Structure 1
Amino acid sequence: MERELTEVYCGNGKGKTALAIGQSIREAVQGKSVIVIQFLKGCEKRSLDFLEDLDNLDFKIFRFEKRDCCYEQLTEEEKAEERSNILNGLNFARKVVVTQECDFLLLDEILGLLDRGIVTVDAIIDILKQKDESMHIVMTGWNFPEELKPYVDTITTLNSEEVHHSCEQQ
């Protein structure tokens, strides 16, 4: 069996999640089990939920945050509550990796948790150290910390000349 990769899509350009979701769908269509765990997506509609309803696809999406607004817009009390929810999501990701619950795991915007100080690089390294060679992992986010390099096979950077990062629907 071929060793599966750990990949990262990062940078300030648009399309990281779209690229990763496309890859997830391709894997599911090929008969692989897919789990998507999304972080920091409170400001986005649940536009991907239809994927879970497609016949004959083993495709599951999880979000642990409860609020529909952006993390940055929350009060300190609300942020503390969401941090707890996010850490539950991170623990779930660790369980998925340890138990080899799927063939393909997408940790969408997990790197953004580092930017906001919600998790440490060591917490992500701990998850990646548990990875079996048969599981393919994709992580997305804006900034890629150098400390993760030894645990990642490929890094794709999407950059934009003009960066307009906003949580408002366009």
Structure 2
Amino acid sequence: MEKEMAEVYCGNGRGKTTLAIGQALRASSQGKSVIIIQFLKGNERRELDFLEELDQLDIKIFRFEKMETCYDQLNEEEQAEEKRNILNGLNFARKVIATQECDFLVLDEILGLLDKHIATVDMVTELLKQKDESMHIILTGNRVDQGLLDYVDRVTTITTLERDKMPLV
């Protein structure tokens, strides 16, 4: 059996989630079971729900946030409530990894939890330490913390360059 990886898609560019979803679709089309856990997207983001309706694919999507609005747009009290919901999502991710509930796990915007001080680097590294060689994990977010680098196999950085700052080829 091929050893599966833990990888990070990060950077200031758009497309990190799209890249992760593309990889998840590929894995599912190869007969692997896929779980996607989204963080910091609010509950109104339903653009991926169609994936669960594709009968031939084994893809499940989870969001633990209850508010319709993204975390940054909530007041302090609402953020405190959503933080509890988000931490429930992290606990669910821990359970998925510990029980090997899927072959391919996407933790979408989990790196943003570090930036917003909702989770710690230790919390995320504990998840990665539980991963066994048969599970592929993708973490997305804008910035990867140095403390995670020992626990991931590959970091892909997606950058957006303004037209006037593009390198000449």
TM-score (norm 1): 0.93
Question: Counterpart of 2:20?
Answer: 20
Question: Counterpart of 1:144?
Answer: 144
CA distances 1:76-114 after superposition (whole Å, capped 9, x unpaired): 110000000000000000000000000000000000000
Q: CA deviation at 1:44?
A: 5.6
Is residue 83 from structure 1 mapped to residue 94 from structure 2 by the alignment? no
Return the alpha-carbon distance in structure 2 between the equivalents of residues 25 and 68 of structure 1: 26
Return the alpha-carbon distance in structure 1 between the equivalents of residues 107 and 101 of structure 2: 14
Unpaired segments ≥5 residues, structure 2: 163-169
CA distances 1:112-161 after superposition (whole Å, capped 9, x unpaired): 00000000000000110000100000000001101101100000000112
| Paired-residue identity, % | 68
Q: Retained in 1: the 8 A contact 2:11–2:142? A: yes
Question: Counterpart of 2:49?
Answer: 49
Return the alpha-carbon distance in structure 2 between the equivalents of residues 110 and 45 of structure 1: 16
Question: Counterpart of 1:66?
Answer: 66
Question: Counterpart of 2:166?
Answer: none
Root-mean-square deviation over aligned CA pairs: 1.0
Q: CA deviation at 1:43?
A: 7.3
3-state DSSP of counterpart to 2:148: helix
Return the alpha-carbon distance in structure 2 between the equivalents of residues 147 and 55 of structure 1: 39
Relative to structure 1, the CA distance from residue 112 to residue 135 in structure 2 (aligned partners, 3 Å threshold; closer, same or farther) is same
CA distances 1:9-43 after superposition (whole Å, capped 9, x unpaired): 00000000000000001101111000000001117
Q: Which moved more, 1:104-113 or 1:43-52?
A: 43-52
Question: Counterpart of 1:168?
Answer: none
Question: Counterpart of 2:117?
Answer: 117
Q: Retained in 1: the 8 A contact 2:35–2:61? A: yes
Return the alpha-carbon distance in structure 2 between the equivalents of residues 151 and 50 of structure 1: 32
Return the alpha-carbon distance in structure 2 between the equivalents of residues 112 and 45 of structure 1: 16
TM-score (norm 2): 0.93
3-state DSSP of counterpart to 2:79: helix
Relative to structure 1, the CA distance from residue 13 to residue 49 in structure 2 (aligned partners, 3 Å threshold; closer, same or farther) is same
Q: State the AA in 1 paired with 2:89.
A: G
Question: Counterpart of 1:33?
Answer: 33
Q: State the AA in 1 paired with 2:151.
A: Y
Q: State the AA in 2 paired with 1:127.
A: L
Would you identify which runs of 4 or more consecutive aligned residues in structure 1 move more than 3 Å? none
